[in-house]
Amino acid sequence: MTADSAFSIVDIKQLRKRYGTNEVLKGVDLDVKRGEVIAIIGKSGSGKSTLLRCINGLEEFQEGTLHVDGQPLKHGDAKAMRELRQHVGMIFQGFNLFPHLSVGRNVMLAPSLVKKTPQDVNDATARRLLARVGLAEKFDAWPDQLSGGQQQRVAIARALAMQPSVMLCDEITSALDPELVGEVLKVVESLAEEGMTLLMVTHEMNFARKVSDRVVFMHAGRIHEIGPPEQVFGAPRTPELQQFLATLH
């Protein structure tokens, strides 16, 4: 256990989160190792997005501890949060590209401000990352000129530009037309192959089964079942997971 923790990149212990009296996370423990790909599944309202958003401090939690790369998450400490967030990239369901900046400048904004990357290096990195997500020719385009799938791939490049150790994906294909889902998942899969630590909340069960090392099933604010995809999808132990999987077909 202690040896494991030394290698864990995200370490969550007894995490509790309340909105007023409504407790949405009821003591979550999760230990993610470097390079691991974790899929988080569950019904809406089970707390899966909230858990993900706690990891980079978009949501505050009331009890428990959370470490990323050995650093504790401290709300209210702007400097510590800024440091921690440089290790954690996030991709959103709604892309959230900055509409007033061109695609290239979307990717370059944070490295130039936060990491003070020199302009020429930053430019080259942005072009390389956009090429990697298959959008080399869109450097000077505007976000609203792109399809949803293209926007989401720009968002991935933007998050990668900060060279995060962990990438959080919050239902990143849920807002896409079905024919555009594949191009985004392909990029995510390539990230997984290159050893990026990924935590993704997803409804793409086939993708979760194919790419993830472990699957987390959230139910009523707790991790209800956790294990390798073959086990979680092939031999669910609890009635809640069995029922959840049954509703998908």
Partner 1 sequence: MVDFSVGQILWNLLLAARWTVVLSAIAFAGGGVVGLALLTARLRRWPGVPTAVSAYVHVFQGTPLLIQLFLAYFGLGLFGIDVSPWVAAGGALTLYASAYLTEIWRGCVDAIPRGQWEAADSLALSFGEKLRHVVAPQALRIAIAPTVGFLVQVIKGTALASIIGFIELTKTGTMITNATFRPFTVYACVALMYFALCWPVSAFSKRLERKMRRDR
Applying CB under 8 A, the residues found at the interface with partner 1 are 56-58, 78, 82-83, 85-86, 88-90, 92, 94, 96-100, 109-110, 113-114, 155, 158-159, 162, 168
Residue 220 to residue 155: CA distance in whole angstroms = 30
**Closest to partner 1 by CB, 82 or 210:** 82
Q: How far is the CB of 108 from partner 1 (least distance, A)?
A: 11
Question: Which run of H or of E encompasses 66?
Answer: strand 63-68
CA distances from 107 to 90, 99, 123, 156 (A): 13, 12, 9, 9
Residue 163 or 243: the one with the smaller Cβ distance to partner 1 is 163
CA-derived radius of gyration, the chain: 18
d(CA 217, CA 137): 39
Q: CB nearer to partner 1: give 57 or 236.
A: 57
Of the two residues 100 and 249, which places its CB atom closer to partner 1 in the complex? 100
To which H or E segment does residue 224 belong?
A: strand 222-227
Q: How far is the CB of 247 from partner 1 (least distance, A)?
A: 29
Q: How far is the CB of 111 from partner 1 (least distance, A)?
A: 9
Q: The dihedral of CA 101, 106, 112, 118: what is its sign?
A: negative
Question: Is the Cα dihedral 126, 127, 132, 134 positive or negative?
Answer: positive
Min separation Cβ 58 and partner 1, Å: 6
CB of 20 to partner 1, least distance (A): 18
User: Toward partner 1, which CB reaches closer, 82 or 186?
Assistant: 82
Amino acid identity of 198?
L
| Residue with token string 């995490």 | 15
Q: Which of 240, 172, 248 is nearest to 211 (CA)?
A: 172
Q: Which is nearer to partner 1, 89 or 149 (CB)?
A: 89
Residues of 38-47 as b/e, b for ≥16 C-beta within 10 angstroms?
bbbbbeeebb
Closest to 229 (Cα-Cα) out of 203, 197, 207, 200 = 207
Q: How far is the CB of 89 from partner 1 (least distance, A)?
A: 7
Tokens linked to 245: 């999987």
CB of 153 to partner 1, least distance (A): 15
Judged by beta carbon, residue 23 or residue 83, the one nearer partner 1 is 83
